[in-house]
Chains A and B, each alone.
Chain A
Amino acid sequence: MFRAPLQRSLAAVSKTRQVGPQNTFQWTTNVRCESCIDRLFTLGPAPCPICGKTLRKLAFTPQTFEDLGVEKEVAVRRRIAKDFNKRPEDFPDLRAYNDYLEEVEDITFNLINDIDVPETEARIAKYKKENAALIELNIQREEQYAQYLKEQEDSERLEREQRAEELRRLDEEEREEREKGKQELIDKLETSDKDAIKLVARARAEAHKRASARIASSNPSLSATNLARARATQAAAMPDVPHVPIQDDWYAYEDKYVVRDTYDDPVSEAVRRDREGIMRAGGYRVEEAWERALRCAIAGLEIPPLQGLHAVESPSPDVVMAVA
């Protein structure tokens, strides 16, 4: 007899599609051991030793998930997705599309949980017959899209390779040139009777000129792509509106005092003497402190005090000026 289920890691799930008018879809999990499958079904379709259904070896697939329920659901969904492949743009409105999605989910649910399987299969068959053309079209669309993605990936890869190649070539050239320059310099130093320092300086200047020429010549290809990218992001970004600071309507007594450059001020002496600027690390400026003090000295100087219980602004009393 065959061994108990799940004894070997390479267990398989039997999945068979019976050929028939209903095109039903059956799951049996009675035979799961690989050697049993080999033994029972190598010679062609044979009945399952337990439930008696006719099974084929080809229909067995390797198990991916530990949970057979998940395995089954994945298989069902894969099958359903092949036929029910409509897209949002195939429907007049969102409502219709959502109804369609709900129907698909209904069918899937029924199949997974073995509810009303014959009716559900009939629904699928009906749908397939009605939408054969559209299904075919969508399959083609999918393929085209996959093809497009693949092409894009290929071209990107190609571009990357070319760029790497280019860089390698440039590096190589530069190295050769440097070698050559060095050799020339040594030759010249050997043969010429000019000042050695001048020769070295001229060689350096030439090398520098060549290097900058190389950078200039190699840049265009790179900067062209950069430019295109920058232009694309610029088009997507919002236009840059000039910044307008908030305009408040506060009057800060600006016309009533003048801040001098320096004062005799013992209070702020420590801060001003602080050469390393430790005390000013947070952005403290003694000029601002001075200005604040001056503002405070003048602020509200002419505001008369309140009078009486009902908070009337007191009129300024008619007393002859005698400050102090």
Chain B
Amino acid sequence: MAAGATPTHEEKDTESPKTSLYEGSTQFRHWRFSPEQLRTARTSLNTAAVEAIRNAFEADSAGSSSEVLFLSADEENLLVKLYVSKITQLCGLFRFPEEVEATAMTYLKRFYLKNTVMDWHPKNVMLTALFLATKTTNHPIPLEAYTSRIPKTSPSDVLDLEFLVAQSLGFDFAVWHAHRALWGLWLDIQSLPDISMEELRKAYETALTHVRASRLTDAEFIYTPSQIALACLSLAAPQIATAWATFKQDFAQSSPSSTPSAQPDSGLAAVLEFIKTMILTNGSPPNVEAVREVDRRLKICKNPEKVVGSNAYKRKQDEKERKAEEKRQRKAELARKAMAEGDPFGSELAKEDLDDDDD
């Protein structure tokens, strides 16, 4: 962004000693990134995964990985985006409310900031994320009822990944959604003087489609839900959005707790422009043909350690088994030694070498 900053925001922030609710949320603390951070995270995740999978291939049979064309970070993202868009179809099938849909989409996107599609295919992760979202947003549905309506899916497909997904999310289940912010806008704009309800209704409808489109983008990782909602409204009805923003600014000035800012909030305007561009350029589902090509290649470059029945999978399991066995033996040895020394509870803690290895 441009240099020559006006320090209005900092002044506002430091003025109130309390932490605002949004800044206390896990969404703000754990899932807020700069565009550069997002890109780096995805690239490094992809590089590490490719490295690991290449090694697995080589371990299976030397030289076999040279022909394989691994997925790039962008291709991975494309695949994820397709499955994010599929959540909408599934929610339509089950008649889940918007809250569930939006939450599941966020979960899926967040999951692939910590994992790669080459390890976990998005199809099952999507089903799990949606099932998890039904529970966290208080719209639970029996697992049987859920899987029986999705073809070629068994309850174990959903449950096997559930803990992994929850863990990747860092158990941050609460999400602040842009559609709720948009609802708030709809309500609050009614407080504006001389507003045409007919116009507002139309603007709201259009803005809602933009909010839905924004879920296919990275907007929620970079901007706050209120900013996204206002940008969507601004796309639909610019003059209403401007009127509301000005109204809010006047409102803030008239209230005694905040310092009056002399000029209109230019920072916000710039932010809104970025979001609008983002929604317009990235807010549509990906081309299915392109994704199909990616998916075809994914079949080849899947992590063999995660494919049940392959040599690498077996080797990985054996390795795990061996490590567990070693650990057990070490423990038994310690216990035996302690018994020999006459104290069944072992000697003093300080003398023991700390055996605290979680592989």
Q: Is A42 an interface residue (CB 8 A)?
A: no
User: B268's contact among A252, A299, A302, A315, by CB below 8 Å, is which?
Assistant: A302
CA–CA, A157 to B219, complex, Å? Answer: 81
B150-191 with Cβ < 8 A to chain A: 176-177, 180-188, 190-191
**Do the beta carbons of B19 and A293 come within 8 Å of each other?**
no
- Stretch of B57-65, B121-129, B241-249, B283-291 contacting A (4+ beta carbons < 8 Å): B241-249
List B contacts of A302 (CB < 8 A): 9, 12, 265, 267-268
B259-301 with Cβ < 8 A to chain A: 263-272, 274
- Stretch of A93-101, A187-195, A262-270 contacting B (4+ beta carbons < 8 Å): A262-270
**Do the beta carbons of B34 and A307 come within 8 Å of each other?**
yes
Main secondary structure of the interface of A (DSSP, over half): loop
Q: Is A65 an interface residue (CB 8 A)?
A: no
Q: Is A311 an interface residue (CB 8 A)?
A: yes
**CB closest chain-B residue, reference A319:** B270
Main secondary structure of the interface of B (DSSP, over half): helix
CA–CA, A296 to B28, complex, Å? Answer: 13
User: B1's contact among A253, A258, A309, A315, by CB below 8 Å, is which?
Assistant: A315
**Do the beta carbons of A321 and B271 come within 8 Å of each other?**
no
User: A317's contact among B225, B257, B266, by CB below 8 Å, is which?
Assistant: B266
A253/B9 contact (C-beta < 8 A), A297-B185, A315-B1 known:
no
List A contacts of B94 (CB < 8 A): none
Contact with A along B179-221 (1 / 0, CB 8 A): 0111111111011000001000000000000000000000000
List A contacts of B251 (CB < 8 A): 256-257
CA–CA, A324 to B18, complex, Å? Answer: 32
CA–CA, A324 to B272, complex, Å? Answer: 8
**CB closest chain-B residue, reference A299:** B22
User: A301's contact among B37, B224, B263, by CB below 8 Å, is which?
Assistant: B224
User: B187's contact among A294, A309, A317, A324, by CB below 8 Å, is which?
Assistant: A294
**Do the beta carbons of A311 and B37 come within 8 Å of each other?**
yes
List A contacts of B37 (CB < 8 A): 306, 309, 311
A317/B270 contact (C-beta < 8 A), A303-B23, A304-B9, A311-B37 known:
yes
CA–CA, A213 to B166, complex, Å? Answer: 71
**Do the beta carbons of B188 and A303 come within 8 Å of each other?**
no
**Do the beta carbons of B227 and A316 come within 8 Å of each other?**
no
CA–CA, A319 to B246, complex, Å? Answer: 16
List A contacts of B310 (CB < 8 A): none
Q: Is B21 an interface residue (CB 8 A)?
A: yes
User: A251's contact among B21, B36, B227, by CB below 8 Å, is which?
Assistant: B21
**Do the beta carbons of B238 and A306 come within 8 Å of each other?**
no
Contact with B along A236-265 (1 / 0, CB 8 A): 000000000000011111011110100111
CA–CA, A257 to B268, complex, Å? Answer: 18
Q: Is B223 an interface residue (CB 8 A)?
A: yes
**Do the beta carbons of B1 and A307 come within 8 Å of each other?**
yes
List B contacts of A321 (CB < 8 A): 263-266, 269
CA–CA, A257 to B187, complex, Å? Answer: 11
Q: Is B20 an interface residue (CB 8 A)?
A: yes
CA–CA, A318 to B264, complex, Å? Answer: 11
A296/B245 contact (C-beta < 8 A), A301-B224, A316-B5, A324-B234 known:
no
CA–CA, A185 to B342, complex, Å? Answer: 97
Q: Is A322 an interface residue (CB 8 A)?
A: yes
**Do the beta carbons of B34 and A305 come within 8 Å of each other?**
yes
List A contacts of B9 (CB < 8 A): 302-304, 316
List B contacts of A294 (CB < 8 A): 184, 187-188
Q: How large is the interface on B (under 10, 10 to 19, 20 to 34, 35 or more residues)?
A: 35 or more
**Do the beta carbons of B19 and A251 come within 8 Å of each other?**
yes
Expressed in whole angstroms, the minimum distance between the Cβ of B273 and any Cβ of chain A is 8
List B contacts of A292 (CB < 8 A): 180, 184
Q: Is A320 an interface residue (CB 8 A)?
A: yes
**Do the beta carbons of B182 and A300 come within 8 Å of each other?**
no
Expressed in whole angstroms, the minimum distance between the Cβ of B253 and any Cβ of chain A is 11
Q: Is A57 an interface residue (CB 8 A)?
A: no
A301/B268 contact (C-beta < 8 A), A251-B21, A265-B187, A324-B242 known:
yes
**Do the beta carbons of B5 and A317 come within 8 Å of each other?**
yes
List B contacts of A306 (CB < 8 A): 32-34, 37, 222
**Do the beta carbons of A299 and B17 come within 8 Å of each other?**
no
CA–CA, A315 to B6, complex, Å? Answer: 7
CA–CA, A322 to B37, complex, Å? Answer: 28
Q: Is A81 an interface residue (CB 8 A)?
A: no
List B contacts of A256 (CB < 8 A): 248, 251-252, 255
Expressed in whole angstroms, the minimum distance between the Cβ of A324 and any Cβ of chain B is 3
**Do the beta carbons of B12 and A319 come within 8 Å of each other?**
no
Most chain A beta-carbon neighbours within 10 Å: one of B33, B230, B245, B267? B267
List B contacts of A305 (CB < 8 A): 34, 222-223, 271, 274
List B contacts of A311 (CB < 8 A): 33-34, 37
**CB closest chain-B residue, reference A300:** B224
CA–CA, A319 to B271, complex, Å? Answer: 10
**Do the beta carbons of B18 and A257 come within 8 Å of each other?**
no
Q: Is A109 an interface residue (CB 8 A)?
A: no
Expressed in whole angstroms, the minimum distance between the Cβ of B274 and any Cβ of chain A is 8
Q: Is A22 an interface residue (CB 8 A)?
A: no
Q: Is B347 an interface residue (CB 8 A)?
A: no
User: A297's contact among B182, B265, B274, by CB below 8 Å, is which?
Assistant: B182
**Do the beta carbons of B226 and A301 come within 8 Å of each other?**
yes
User: B21's contact among A252, A301, A323, by CB below 8 Å, is which?
Assistant: A252
**Do the beta carbons of A323 and B241 come within 8 Å of each other?**
yes
User: B226's contact among A298, A317, A319, by CB below 8 Å, is which?
Assistant: A298
List B contacts of A322 (CB < 8 A): 269
Q: Which 5 residue pairs are nearest across A and B when measured between Cβ atoms?
A: A324-B238, A297-B184, A316-B267, A315-B5, A300-B224
13 interchain pairs, CB-CB under 8 A:
A249-B19, A253-B20, A264-B197, A292-B180, A296-B184, A297-B229, A300-B20, A300-B226, A301-B248, A303-B224, A307-B36, A319-B2, A321-B266
List residues of chain A with CB under 8 Å of any chain B CB. Answer: 249-253, 255-258, 260, 263-265, 267, 290, 292-309, 311, 314-324
Q: A305-B271, A323-B238, A323-B241 are in contact. List 6 more A-B contacts (CB 8 A).
A: A253-B20, A309-B37, A309-B40, A314-B34, A316-B6, A324-B241
